[in-house]
Chain A
Amino acid sequence: MRVINRLASLLLGLALLAGGLLAAVEAVLVWLDRAPLLIDRQGWYDTLTTTRFSDNGFLVVAIVVGLAGLLLLVLQLRRWRPTRLSVPAAQGWHVQRRSAERLLAGVAGGASGVSTARVRLRERRGDWRPFVTAVGDPSARPQVEAAVRDEVARLAGRSNGVNVTVVQKRRVS
Chain B
Amino acid sequence: MTNAANRTLWTVIGLLLTVAGVAGVLANRGWLPGVDADAPLAWPELREWWQDTDPWGLVVVGLLGLVAAVLGLILLLAELRRRPARALAELRLAHRQPGSTRVPGGVIGHGLERDLARDPGIRHAAVAVTGAAPGPDLWIQLDVEQRADFAAIREHVDEALDRFSRTYGLRPRRLDITARVVGPAPARVR
A59 to B188, CA, bound (A): 46
Q: Which residue of B lies closest to A94 (CB)?
A: B178
- Contact of A9 with B9 in the complex, beta carbons under 8 Å: yes
**B16-55, CB under 8 A of A: which get 1 and which 0?**
1111111111011010000111111110000100000001
Residues on A with beta carbons closer than 8 Å to the beta carbon of B177: 92-94
Contacting residues of chain A (44-86) with chain B, CB-CB under 8 angstroms: 45, 48-55, 58-59, 61-73, 75-77, 84
Contacts of B20 in A (CB 8 A): 62, 65-66, 69
Interface residue A37 (Cβ < 8 Å from any Cβ of B): no
Q: How far is the CB of B189 from chain A (nearest CB, A)?
A: 5
Say whether chain B's binding surface is mostly helix, strand, loop, or mixed. helix
Cβ distance A56 to chain B, nearest Cβ, rounded Å: 8
Contact indicator B62/A19 (Cβ below 8 Å): no
CA distance A154 to B147 in the complex (A): 10
Query: B89 on the interface (CB 8 Å rule)?
Result: no
| Contact flag A23-B180 (CB < 8 Å), given A16-B75, A30-B58, A65-B17 | no
Q: How many residues of A are counted as interface, with CB atoms below 8 angstroms from the partner's CB atoms?
A: 78
CA distance A24 to B107 in the complex (A): 47
Instruction: Specify which chain A residues have a CB less than 8 angstroms from the CB of B84 in the assembled complex.
Output: none
* Residues of chain B within 8 A of A59, CB atoms compared: 24-25, 28
Binds A, one of B63-71, B94-102, B109-117, B127-135: B63-71
Q: B76 touching A13 by the CB < 8 A rule? A: yes
Residues on A with C-beta less than 8 A from B28 are 53-55, 58-59, 62
Give the shortest distance, in Å, between B162 (CB) and chain A (any CB).
Answer: 14
Q: Report if B120 contacts A (CB, 8 A).
A: no
B190 at interface, CB cutoff 8 A:
yes
Contact indicator A12/B75 (Cβ below 8 Å): yes
> Which residues of B from 165 to 190 have beta carbons under 8 Å from A?
174-183, 185-190
B-contacting residues, A88-131, CB 8 Å: 90, 92-96, 98-103, 105-106, 108-110, 116-119
| CB <8 Å contact, A62 and B25 | yes
B79 near A: Cβ within 8 Å?
A: yes
A52 CA / B154 CA spacing, docked (Å):
68
> Which residue of chain B is the closest to A115 with respect to CB atoms?
B187
A73 engages B18 (CB within 8 Å): yes
A residues near B182, Cβ cutoff 8 Å: 99
Q: In the assembled complex, which residues on chain B have CB atoms less than 8 Å from the CB atom of A19? A: 65, 68-69, 72
Give every chain B residue within 8 A of A167 (Cβ-Cβ).
none
Is B7's CB within 8 Å of the partner chain A?
A: yes
Take A19-B68, A69-B17, A101-B189 as given contacts and tell me if A92 and B175 are in contact as well, using a CB distance cutoff of 8 Å: yes
- List A residues at the B interface (Cβ < 8 Å): 2, 5-6, 8-10, 12-28, 30-31, 45, 48-55, 58-59, 61-73, 75-77, 84, 87, 90, 92-96, 98-103, 105-106, 108-110, 116-119, 154-155, 157
Given A5-B6, A49-B47, 18 further pairs, Cβ under 8 A: A6-B1, A9-B6, A9-B9, A9-B75, A13-B75, A15-B72, A19-B69, A20-B66, A20-B69, A24-B66, A25-B65, A27-B61, A27-B62, A58-B27, A102-B185, A105-B187, A108-B187, A109-B187
